């Protein structure tokens, strides 16, 4: 069994203000980190371009996070994204955050379901063959 690849990764500096009263990064920040990786992935495969051109784009249907280890300031995290599953009108994204200060340890993992919709009508839209091909290319056609 091969390990998953992470075709999109971002290096993020942890800000002092992201910590909460419990002296670690607040749980909501992880959602923002994963969102940033998701948007970078969308840009890499042209999802946002299609939304501007014809009004068809992504909407987040579900998001989960498993918190593995607390993160504190100062630190840098690498936040990565991949697409392990394509469906008819949606796809699953997986996320991982690792901590530089903790020697690259995984500090959070998560996933989400993204549905493609026509923002003019509100109807779900099938994933285009072009999007499927772009995702396959980015993922290395595993």
Closest CA to 12 of 121, 110, 99, 134: 99
Phi first, then psi: give them for residue 117, nearest 5 degrees: -135, 155
With a threshold of 0.85, does the pTM exceed it?
Answer: yes
- Which of helix, strand or coil describes residue 130? helix
> What's the CATH architecture for 8-133?
Roll (3.10)
User: How far apart are the C-alpha atoms of 130 and 45, rounded to whole Å?
Assistant: 9
> Across residues 113-142, what is the average pLDDT?
94
> Across residues 44-59, what is the average pLDDT?
94
Write down the mean pLDDT value for the chain. 95
């Amino acid at each position: 069994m091969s390990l998953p690849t992470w075709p999109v990764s971002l290096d993020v500096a942890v800000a002092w203000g992201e910590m909460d009263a419990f002296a670690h990064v607040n749980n909501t920040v992880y959602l923002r980190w994963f969102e940033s990786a998701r948007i970078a992935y969308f840009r890499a495969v042209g999802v946002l371009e299609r939304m501007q051109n014809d009004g068809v784009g992504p909407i987040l249907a579900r998001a989960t996070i498993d918190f593995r280890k607390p993160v504190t300031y100062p630190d840098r995290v690498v936040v990565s994204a991949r697409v392990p599953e394509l469906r008819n009108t949606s796809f699953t994204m997986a996320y991982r955050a690792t901590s530089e200060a903790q020697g690259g340890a995984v500090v959070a993992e998560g996933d989400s379901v993204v549905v493609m919709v026509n923002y003019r009508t509100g109807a779900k839209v099938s994933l285009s063959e072009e999007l499927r091909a772009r995702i396959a290319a980015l993922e290395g056609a595993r």
